[in-house]
Amino acid sequence: MDLATRERAPHPEAPAAPYARVKQFLKEGLSHGRWAPGALMPSEAELVARFGVSRMTVTRALRELLAEGLVTRVQGVGTFAAHLSKVSSTLTIRDLHDEIAERGHRHHAEVHTARQERASAELALQLGLNSGDAVFHTLIVHFENGVPLQCEDRYVNPACAPDYLSVDFTQTTPTHYLLQVAPLWEAQFSIEASQASAQEARLLRIGLGEPCLVLVRRTMSRGVPITLARLVHPGSRYQIDGQFKP
Amino acid sequence: MDLATRERAPHPEAPAAPYARVKQFLKEGLSHGRWAPGALMPSEAELVARFGVSRMTVTRALRELLAEGLVTRVQGVGTFAAHLSKVSSTLTIRDLHDEIAERGHRHHAEVHTARQERASAELALQLGLNSGDAVFHTLIVHFENGVPLQCEDRYVNPACAPDYLSVDFTQTTPTHYLLQVAPLWEAQFSIEASQASAQEARLLRIGLGEPCLVLVRRTMSRGVPITLARLVHPGSRYQIDGQFKP
DNA sequence: CAGTGGTCTAGACCACTGA
DNA sequence: CAGTGGTCTAGACCACTGA
């Protein structure tokens, strides 16, 4: 190998690590349209030759681009610029207590329901139980600086969190407690806008029929459903923010 | 190395690749609470010894867990189980035409506005222009099987898409066209619930004040703002779905 | 068959941390 | 100082695809 080509980068903007330089070269080419979606990109061998690095280094750069969805790879054929027909964003759903605390505000919770019930047929299906089995049910309203922010209607699979009902939910949020019980989550969710029901409007102290942002989330851990939650927020007081970075 | 330890896995559920086996071992330990959040996990050297693989293989497994946010690593100190205080989900925002077509339904669009305007101070700020500069503005209503689904109010930076206004938006959606012009996106968005304005209610053929799911999205490419869009959907006809897998 | 990507090994040098 | 992670090299064997 020619050591003269291994000069120290004088530009601070150039990434130091060789794998990062290869990755940036490809990423910039993609963003400038050098390879149209679906087009064949340089092979690993070509990149090895061009950058004078080993194949493992090139492989790492390409594998990270693959993980980011920027390229598709086919064994025996080549690496192709991905078709970016969709924009996927990272949506972070945080524990509400942390979110409020981070804004420097006060959080408190009112517990309206915390009891064991019998699962309806529909609920049993969602939680992997049989109709009529015991489920835990909590209905809690969360406040930010004294203003109602979220009405949290939640059902919990007792098998996953047998002590759930003994938790003091004025001190610990259900989300926080359940994250301790089952740390690794898999979730499905939907976000919709709907009018507040009579009960929701009363608990959130908003007008009947005011628009609410409703997040319904079902959470599983190790393939077992843990909890089903319906989180209702006054549209005027809550929004979800996120971003996407390639 | 002891070759006897390299038996073929008789269980089909065990991943074949050594790096995948290491990764799965760590992932399962995390999901079973073997390492509590913040706890020290095995070092690379320990994993090398335990699995009888080379360090590069262990490194790959750990790097992927790092990318997935399941561990944190500190040089000179060790690898730790991450604090999973937030649940982050992948939210995929698709081209509405594709989304409707995939449901086997008919999509069509009504173009209500498509013209050049002068940017207000606020809009100029968002698009990286000067107040009074030219911007392109479109207002388009999208229909699924003849029912209004989305009111798309969009401003576009002319520098990024000079031909924007010559596109026939009854045939091509702005999203589809802009993805061709600038393939690599970076976006910020917010999702909120609000009441339909008089104009929105009329265009979407819903009652005044009905709840709507509103997605505001600002898109950049190569650091340059491309477009700012406000997408208003009748709450009764549209929801956003997503999922999170660790 | 040559070319492609998927994965692995057995070393190496380094920066960093904390005792 | 020993232990940690961050990165790299120069090979290797393999499965797969398409001419």
Matching residue, tokens 């897998």? B245
How far apart are the C-alpha atoms of A175 and A95, rounded to whole Å?
6
SS3 A49: helix
**What mean pLDDT is reported for chain A?**
88
Strand-strand pairing, B240-244 and A186-195: antiparallel
**Burial (Cβ within 10 Å: 0-12, 13-18, ≥19) of residue B152:** buried
Of B185, B191, B236, the CB nearest to A191: B191
Between A36 and B57, the higher pLDDT residue = B57
| pLDDT score recorded for residue A40 | 96
Confidence bin at B53 (pLDDT 50/70/90): very high
Q: Which residue is nearest to nucleotide C6 (CA to C1')?
A: A75
Is pLDDT at B47 greater than 50 in this prediction?
yes
| pLDDT score recorded for residue B245 | 66
Chain A hits for B212, CB-CB cut-off 8 Å, are: 193, 211
Confidence bin at B216 (pLDDT 50/70/90): very high
Is pLDDT at B112 greater than 70 in this prediction?
yes
Asked whether the beta carbons of residue A242 and residue B188 sit closer than 8 angstroms, the reply is yes
Q: What is the per-residue pLDDT across B155-181, written as a single tens digit (0 to 9) for each?
A: 999 999 999 999 999 999 999 898 877
Chain B hits for A70, CB-CB cut-off 8 Å, are: 184
Mean pLDDT in residue range A209-220 = 92
Chain A hits for B176, CB-CB cut-off 8 Å, are: 85
Confidence bin at B93 (pLDDT 50/70/90): low
Matching residue, tokens 């997605």? B215
Q: How large a percentage of chain B has pLDDT more than 90?
A: 71
Is pLDDT at B241 greater than 70 in this prediction?
yes
Confidence bin at B94 (pLDDT 50/70/90): confident
Per mean pLDDT, which range of A71-80, B173-182, B220-229, B237-246 is the poorest? B237-246
Is pLDDT at A222 greater than 80 in this prediction?
no
Confidence bin at A7 (pLDDT 50/70/90): very low
Residues 44-63 of B with CB under 7 A from strand D: 44-46, 55-56, 59, 62-63
Asked whether the beta carbons of residue A27 and residue B184 sit closer than 8 angstroms, the reply is yes
Nucleotide nearest to A77 (CA to C1'): C4
Confidence bin at A145 (pLDDT 50/70/90): very high
Between A197 and A33, the higher pLDDT residue = A197
Of A33, A187, A235, the CB nearest to B193: A235
Q: Which residue is nearest to nucleotide D5 (CA to C1')?
A: B75
Closest residue by Cα to residue B39 from B85, B84, B80: B80
CA distances from A36 to A40, A62, A78, B148, B243 (A): 9, 17, 15, 33, 29
Of B212, B222, B244, the CB nearest to A193: B212
Query: Helical H runs in chain B?
Result: 18-31, 44-51, 55-67, 96-102, 121-127, 174-181, 198-204
Is pLDDT at A141 greater than 70 in this prediction?
yes
Confidence bin at A14 (pLDDT 50/70/90): low
Per mean pLDDT, which range of A30-39, A194-203, B159-168 is the poorest? A30-39
Per mean pLDDT, which range of A9-13, A68-72, A76-80, B140-144 is the poorest? A9-13
Closest residue by Cα to residue B72 from B35, B20, B46, B45: B35
Is pLDDT at B182 greater than 90 in this prediction?
no
Between B42 and B98, the higher pLDDT residue = B42
| pLDDT score recorded for residue B11 | 41
Phi then psi dihedrals of residue B143, to 5 deg: -120, 140
Is pLDDT at A5 greater than 90 in this prediction?
no
| pLDDT score recorded for residue B183 | 66
Q: Which residue is nearest to nucleotide C8 (CA to C1')?
A: B57
Is pLDDT at B105 greater than 70 in this prediction?
yes
Chain B hits for A183, CB-CB cut-off 8 Å, are: 30-31, 33, 36-37, 81, 84
Confidence bin at A186 (pLDDT 50/70/90): confident
